[in-house]
């Protein structure tokens, strides 16, 4: 597949936006400016970027507790996200949801989710609704290696397979669920091997290669749009930060960390684009600088926004 230069540069920019957003979050969290928990996606940017690049704006995604990358890649706004993380009134959920509840249904983001594996049935429901409404919308369901051990995965994927629903399951195999290695909870080499149990196609890709992810997901999305049902895409990647910010990460072997540093999706893609003469080092620096400015502005927006009023606490509550 050939991808035009502009689209390659866009993918670089999206990955840098995700990384830079999260570097700001990491810093602000360490400074005590962000309440609650944050789970960062640093190292996994190519997976969200490649997958969402294969979608239309009216397609859907379901996300996870590690959702910042999914939201930015699908078109979410960093300033509204940052304000939400700060608990401010101007945030995506008026400051009442935080990192794990960011949603923007206008652009198909059906929500980050604090419950591991909970996006899987939601993805099936959204795909069924697209079918019933007679649209050709597709759902990308992001989930972790850990989530693939949950019952929601086996029930949700099986039903979607039986009903041939337009869902693409993107498993982000980052080797760990919290501090538990996937090898301690699963016997086969590839999580995509699970697809055989449901009778759906599968593919395993280098989740740190944005083009490989894009190509695999684009093919799966096209199949889903044609009415040919779900696909399981396993993206092999690595989270470079802890499970949560502040996690001492004593369970990660040093040589493993070093090995994955060399596979940094952004450093390598930048190098590749320069070698391909898609952009120069100066062009890439200019993108990095624009993104830095954008994220500085997002932090300022969050800092300068008001907290919600106490009287708003029970607004938007459904029971
Ligand atoms: C149903 C449920 N069980 C346990 C937890 C606690 N928990 C939060 S994240 C996580 C690990 C998830 O691992 P994985 O699916 O691989 O995603 P990753 O964190 O690696 O992105 C666990 C066990 C939870 N939030 N929800
Ligand atoms: Mg994991």
Answer whether 153 contacts ligand 1 (Cβ < 6 A).
no
Q: In this predicted structure, what is the pLDDT of residue 16?
A: 99
pLDDT in tens, 90-135: 999 999 999 999 999 999 999 999 999 999 999 999 999 999 999 9
Give the residue-averaged pLDDT of 18-38.
97
Q: How far is CA 124 from the centre of its chain?
A: 18
In the predicted structure, residue 259 carries a pLDDT above the cut 80: yes
Q: In this predicted structure, what is the pLDDT of residue 1?
A: 59
pLDDT in tens, 166-178: 999 999 999 999 9
In the predicted structure, residue 142 carries a pLDDT above the cut 90: yes
Give the global pTM: 0.98
Q: How far is the CA of 253 from the centre of ligand 1 (A)?
A: 21
Answer whether 75 contacts ligand 1 (Cβ < 6 A).
no
C-beta of residue 19 within 8 angstroms of C-beta of residue 266? yes
pLDDT in tens, 52-66: 999 999 999 999 999
Binning pLDDT at 50, 70 and 90, where does residue 203 land?
A: very high
Nearest ligand 1 atom to the CA of 143 is: 15
Answer whether 241 contacts ligand 1 (Cβ < 6 A).
no
In the predicted structure, residue 7 carries a pLDDT above the cut 80: yes
Answer whether 68 contacts ligand 1 (Cβ < 6 A).
no
Beta-strand (E) ranges in the chain?
Answer: 60-62, 139-144, 167-173, 176-177, 180-181, 202-206, 231-236
3-state DSSP call for residue 262? coil
Long-range contacts: 193-201, Cβ < 8 Å, 24+?
194/148, 194/157, 194/232, 195/231, 195/232, 198/157, 198/158, 198/161, 198/230, 198/232, 199/161, 200/157, 200/161, 200/229, 200/230, 200/231, 200/232, 201/231, 201/232
Show the tokens assigned to 286.
């200019």
Nearest ligand 1 atom to the CA of 243 is: 19
Q: Which helix H or strand E contains 151, and what residues bound it? A: helix 151-162
Q: What is the mean pLDDT of the chain?
A: 97
């Amino acid at each position: 597949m050939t991808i035009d230069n502009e689209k390659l540069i866009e993918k670089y920019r999206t990955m840098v936006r995700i990384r830079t957003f999260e570097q700001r979050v990491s810093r602000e969290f360490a400074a005590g400016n962000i309440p609650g928990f944050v789970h960062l996606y640093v190292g996994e940017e190519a997976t969200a970027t490649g997958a969402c690049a294969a979608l239309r704006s009216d397609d859907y995604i379901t996300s996870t507790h590690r959702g910042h990358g999914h939201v930015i890649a699908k078109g979410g706004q960093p300033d509204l996200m940052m304000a939400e993380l700060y608990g401010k009134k101007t945030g995506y959920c008026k400051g009442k949801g935080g990192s794990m509840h960011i949603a923007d249904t206008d652009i198909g983001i059906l929500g980050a989710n604090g419950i591991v594996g909970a996006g899987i049935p939601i993805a099936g429901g959204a795909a069924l609704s697209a079918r019933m409404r007679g649209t050709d919308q597709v759902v990308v369901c992001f989930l972790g290696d850990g989530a693939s051990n949950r019952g929601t995965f086996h029930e949700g994927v099986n039903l979607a397979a039986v009903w041939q629903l337009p869902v693409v399951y993107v498993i982000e195999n980052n080797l760990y669920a919290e501090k538990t290695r996937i090898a301690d909870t699963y016997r086969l080499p590839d999580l995509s091997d699970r697809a055989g149990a449901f009778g759906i196609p599968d593919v395993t890709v280098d989740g740190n290669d944005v083009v490989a992810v894009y190509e695999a997901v684009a093919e799966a999305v096209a199949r889903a749009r044609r009415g040919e049902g779900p696909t399981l895409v396993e993206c092999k990647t690595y989270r470079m930060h802890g499970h949560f910010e502040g996690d001492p990460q004593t369970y990660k072997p040093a040589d493993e960390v070093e090995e994955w540093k060399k596979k940094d999706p952004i450093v390598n893609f930048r190098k590749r684009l320069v070698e391909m003469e898609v952009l120069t080092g100066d062009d890439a620096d200019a993108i990095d600088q624009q993104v830095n400015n954008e994220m500085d502005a997002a932090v300022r927006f969050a800092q300068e926004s008001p907290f919600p009023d106490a009287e708003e606490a029970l607004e938007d509550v459904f029971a």
